[in-house]
Structure 1
Amino acid sequence: MDSVAGRLKELVVPIHEVAYMADEPNEALQALGFEGYWPLYFASRSAPLGKVPAEVVDALFYNFVPGEVAACVPSCWEVASPEEVLAARERGCVAALRGILGELADSPVVGRCADVLMKAAFSAPVEGRMLYAGLRSIPVPEEPVARLWHAATLLREHRGDGHTASLVTRGIGGQESHVLLALLWDMKPRDFGRLDPLSDEQLEVVIDGLRERGLVNAEGWFTPEGRKLRDEIEELTDELAAPAYECLTAEEVDELVTDLKPLVEKIVAARPF
């Protein structure tokens, strides 16, 4: 049987991901003066941490090619402050959700779901969760759609911090994690967009490292050991995410799943891919 963390991942993550999948958040950040996608991405996602060095952002985000973060941080803070970036990101995400959900955005279900998710989000352990801890320091919005997105973001980044810990525990580096995810999706690593910054030679070095460990075969696909390891990483990620939801009763979880499903179906249907 699927864990609660695993079940709710499929409903929580799409709400958060309007930050990356919709136009409105980018437009709100571009209005501050950001040009191009990556400067506003690194600014908006790292803003809860304040003006930390690129090395800190790179370590926390884990899977970017060397130099990608430093090309945008700390220069992004010459465009706008972390506080301005956080406010713009929230405005954009709320506008995106309202556009997607239509009349559902003002239904009582949004407020109910936001309250239950916020209860879980503030029940999660903070220790070792740097990005999540930064988000915990931000004032919680009152408006229901904003609260829903903020709660989903807290839970997503809590899970993300745990996923990074899971990868580190299993000895999987950032670029290796992208290769394993591509293979999980039955996609050749060269076709996986987040690996674009690597040259063919650099990518082959990453794949060779996985091949030497018996995780990838000669053709570049999973070995049974590789697929088993990827499954174990996801299982450990679920295990590390689980404490956030221990405060919820079985009835609250069931109601949350029922209430969120129609909202998330609309969000997923609106994705640009």
Structure 2
Amino acid sequence: MSHPTPVARRMYDLVEPIGLVPYFADESDQALMALGLRNAWDAYFAGRAAPLGRSAPAEVVHAVFYNFAPGEVARHLPRIWDLTTPEAALAARERGCVAGLRRLLGDLADTPGVTRAADLLLRAATSAPVEGRVLYAALRALPVPREPLARLWHAATLLREHRGDGHTVALLAEDIGGTQAHVLHALSIDMPAHEFGRVSHLPAAQLTAVIDGMRSRGLIGTDGWLTPTGHATKQRVESMTDRLAEAPYNALAPNELELLTATLTPISTTIRAVFPS
């Protein structure tokens, strides 16, 4: 069912806090590190790349994830699979995220609203076409958890990666590379690129080369901030990302979408109170 007004941005604000749990709640990293992984980035790549399987080389994961600097993925893959297995990583990640959600939500975790939200969100999350959505398709191939809190987190992760696959398409359409995407985002929120976490660790010469390339295209001005062209490019990327993220919600009738919104709002609000970013 196609809705008369776009819903993807509205739902993004509600779903994203749940999808961010593995990156902001300690329980996920702790569960993965207990498998013998060496650091938090090992845990990141093990948890997120596990749906692609052991045989996916670093070059493929780099292409799918899109926004890591050259060589960053290869520092962790395939070595993490000498320490654990994708199956164990998937189980540990789910276990840790459910524990993190339970801690964050407190008494809300076992309410009927969580079950209703999980069922509706999962129906949306498993309804979209998989063509061209590599990471989303890999997640769709996994078994669906039975426990409501696990189902909620699984559905949010599906939708987050579905949106992420579409965001990559939008970036490619604007000829914005992975590192450039971080610079574009940082400057759009009035943060100097060298202070943005995902690129702040890069050698100064490497980051300067990226910025110089964007400046030569008219995206960044001589003052180091986005030009009108840069802002317009960022807006086109976000608009296309929203448009490409609409499909899952077409599985829900308007009244179901309103019910989903009502049940997700207290969940997301509670999580955002701890992880406002």
Count residues with an aligned counterpart: 273
**Equivalence for 1:200:** 204
Equivalent in the alignment of 2:81: 77
Determine which of 58, 62, 67 is the counterpart of 1:54: 58
* Cα root mean square deviation, aligned: 1.2
By how many angstroms is 1:197 displaced? 3.2
Once the 2 structures are TM-superposed, how far is the Cα of residue 6 of structure 1 from its aligned partner? 0.8
2:257 is the alignment partner of 1:236: no
Per-residue Cα deviation, 1:24-72 (whole angstroms, up to 9, x for no partner):
0011011111111111111110000101100000000111111110010
**Of residues 116, 120, 141 in structure 2, which corresponds to 1:116?**
120
1:8 aligns with 2:11: yes
Where do 5+ consecutive residues of structure 2 fail to align? none
Question: Which residue of structure 2 aligns with residue 102 of structure 1?
Answer: 106
Give TM-score, length-normalised by structure 2: 0.96
Q: Distance in 1 between matches of 2:23 and 2:189?
A: 20
Correspondence list, 1:136-215, <5 A:
136-215=140-219
Identity score, percent = 55
User: How far off is 1:196 after superposition?
Assistant: 2.4
| Post-superposition CA distance 1:159-184 (Å, at most 9, x none) | 00000011011100001000011012
Residue 198 (structure 1) shift: 1.7
Letter in 1 for 2:21: V
Distance 2:195 2:165 in 1: 26
Work out whether 1:218 is the aligned partner of 2:222. yes
Q: Which amino acid aligns with 2:260?
A: L
Match of 1:133 among 133, 137, 147: 137
Moved over 3 A (4+): none
| Change in CA separation of 1:22 and 1:272 when aligned onto 2, cut-off 3 Å | farther
* Partner Cα distance (1:3, 1:62) in 2: 26
Q: How far has the Cα of 1:256 moved from its partner?
A: 1.3
What amino acid sits opposite 2:10 in the alignment? R
Superposition deviation, residue 272 in structure 1: 7.9
Contact 2:193 2:200 (8 Å CA) reproduced? no
- Distance (Å, rounded) in 2 between the aligned partners of 1:231 and 1:154: 24
Displacement after TM superposition at 1:2 (Å): 6.7
Q: Which amino acid aligns with 2:68?
A: F
Gap runs ≥5 in structure 1 = none
Q: Tell me if structure 2 keeps the 8 A contact 1:21–1:272.
A: no
Alpha-carbon contact 2:183-2:211 (below 8 Å) kept? yes
AA partner of residue 38 (structure 2)? E
Q: Counterpart in 1 of 2:273?
A: 269
Taking the aligned partners of 2:257 and 2:48, their CA distance within structure 1 comes to 28
Tell me, in whole angstroms, the C-alpha distance in 2 between the residues paired with 1:180 and 1:164: 14
AA in 2 matched with 1:222: L
Residue 28 (structure 2) aligns with: 25
State the AA in 2 paired with 1:183: L
Letter in 1 for 2:45: F
Q: Which amino acid aligns with 1:157?
A: E
Q: What SS does the corresponding residue of 2:75 show, helix, strand or coil?
A: coil
The answer for the alignment partner of 1:249 in structure 2 is: 253
What is the CA–CA distance in structure 1 between the aligned matches of 2:226 and 2:276, rounded to whole Å? 28
2: CA distance, partners of 1:206 / 1:2:
37
Partner residue of 1:44? Answer: 47
SS in 2 for 1:202: helix
